[in-house]
Amino acid sequence: MVCSLCATHAWPDVGRAARDRNLIGKPYLSPPKVLRSDGLVTAPVLVTGAAGFIGSHTVEALCRRGLPVVGLDNLNDYYAPERKRANLEEVRAALQGAPFTFVEGDIRDRALLNNLFSEHRFGSVVHLAAMAGVRASVDDPWTYYDVNLTGTLNLLAAAKEHGKPNFVFASTSSAYGRTETIPFVETDTADRPLAPYPASKRSVELLGHSFHHLHGLDFTALRFFTVYGPRGRPDMMAYKVFDNIFFDREVPLYNGGNMHRDWTFVLDIVAGVANAATRRLGYEVINIGRGEPVLLSDFVAGIEAVTGKKTSLTNKPMMDADVSFTYASIDKARQLLDYEPKVSVKEGIESHWDWYQDAVLSQAREAQTPGGSASPTSSTGSTGSAGSGGSEPQQRV
């Protein structure tokens, strides 16, 4: 398959095996029960960050519900833009002509946003575009505030000016910091974020309240808990563990893997997002997790089991910006969004592994054969402004 975006790269059918397992591309998402008769469900949806991990799955889910989608993404090099183009290719292949338009552009470009909102009269905005690394935000807080706060302000202002579409915002479990309330519940003050990234996300939740209060904008912040699965970000642990096994990349295992994470499969997250996009709730902050924390070392063991190979991770002490526990209360999501996570961590790891073989290992093999053109797309920049290059370790398969 040739990439229709750049017409030069050849992409494998990423996620094929996962689709065969019926996890990807299968519309298991239940239709929303609360549909308004105010035009919301037929008006187009703007999905920002559409080429990213969660964004690309969100585009698919919304289109499968019959909604026209406009995707916006600046394809930055926080991780390889080729990976994001490959995500878009997979979306296009899966949707086969469904009404999806992609626009390459930046949420910091106010003129662009004004044109987009004037042209499309969106019924909903699903705002996923962000600089999304906790640790990278410590090194470059400026970029994080510029994109995550100023960029979001631009979108909120455009929404206010253009018909007040339902606004859904991707927030994060890291907003809770080192809370002592377990499981994490939305009534927590969440006013002690440990790094600029969660501080920027919490700031947007507050800004959203101002727009709701002053202008009547419906604003729902969804706090995602450790998302993993096909098209997963190369800077996140699941992907890095695969990279450690197959490319000998050095990967830190913080606190000896003795930290719990509420790992949540991407299609479960996206089911919550799609339900939120199709119902107006006033102002709400809602956790979207699995509600069953798993030890990091057990998650790694799950990857070793599915690949049949051992990791060689490097033990490191826990970082200042990190927490030892995440655990979502999902009662509110169940109540307001009919949200019910369905994919076990075991199934999710298998699906992630299927995708990694198709999308990463097969490309690496192709690159190693004489005349192969594709290159692995797992390298990451740290701030979104650095280049995505760097020499790739040899594949160990």
Ligand X SMILES: NC(=O)c1ccc[n+]([C@@H]2O[C@H](COP(=O)([O-])OP(=O)(O)OC[C@H]3O[C@@H](n4cnc5c(N)ncnc54)[C@H](O)[C@@H]3O)[C@@H](O)[C@H]2O)c1
Footprint of ligand X (CB under 6 A): 48-49, 51-55, 72-76, 78, 84, 106-108, 128-132, 147, 151, 170, 172, 224, 226-227, 233
CA distance 193 to 191: 6
Q: Judged by CB, which is closer to ligand X: 73, or 358?
A: 73
Instruction: For the CB of residue 347, give the shortest distance to ligand X in the complex, in Å.
Output: 18
Toward ligand X, which CB reaches closer, 76 or 166?
76
Instruction: Tell me whether residue 51 or residue 303 sits nearer to ligand X (CB atom).
Output: 51
How many angstroms separate the first and last alpha carbons of the chain?
A: 24
CB of 49 to ligand X, least distance (A): 3
273, 275, 276, 280: CA torsion to nearest 10: 160
The gap from C-alpha 167 to its chain's centroid, in whole angstroms, comes to 17
- CB of residue 66 vs ligand X: minimum separation in angstroms? 23
Q: Are 83 and 234 in contact (CB under 8 A)?
A: yes
- Looking at the Cβ atoms of 94 and 227, the one nearer to ligand X is 227
- Angle between helical axes of 296-307 and 345-356 (0-180°, round to 10): 50
- 262 neighbors 289 (Cβ within 8 angstroms): yes
**Residue of 144, 197, 339, 356 marked catalytic:** 197
Tokens of 39: 């035009």
d(CA 86, CA 53): 11
Residue 31: CB minimum distance to ligand X, A: 23
Of 245, 189, 211, nearest to 361 by C-alpha is 245
d(CA 194, CA 254): 16
Residue 314 C-beta: closest distance to ligand X, Å: 22
Instruction: Considering the complex, state which of residue 107 and residue 159 has its C-beta at the smaller distance from ligand X.
Output: 107
Least CB distance from residue 394 to ligand X, whole Å? Answer: 26
Query: What are 269's two structure tokens?
Result: 């997250």
State the Cα angle at 395 between 389 and 396, rounded to 5°.
150
Residue with tokens 């695969």: 242
Closer to ligand X by Cβ: residue 67 or 269? 269
Min CB(148)–ligand X separation in Å: 8
Specify the residue, 41 or 243, whose C-beta has the smaller distance to ligand X.
Answer: 243
Number of residue whose CB is nearest ligand X: 52
Closest CA to 126 of 262, 33, 218, 247: 218
C-beta contacts of 301-305 below 8 A and 24+ residues apart: 302/345, 302/346, 302/349, 303/238, 303/241, 303/242, 303/245, 303/349, 303/353, 304/245
Q: Is position 197 annotated as part of the catalytic site?
A: yes
Question: Contact 227/266 with Cβ under 8 angstroms?
Answer: yes
Contacts of 394 (CB under 8 A, 6+ apart): 247, 248
Catalytically active residues, by annotation? 197
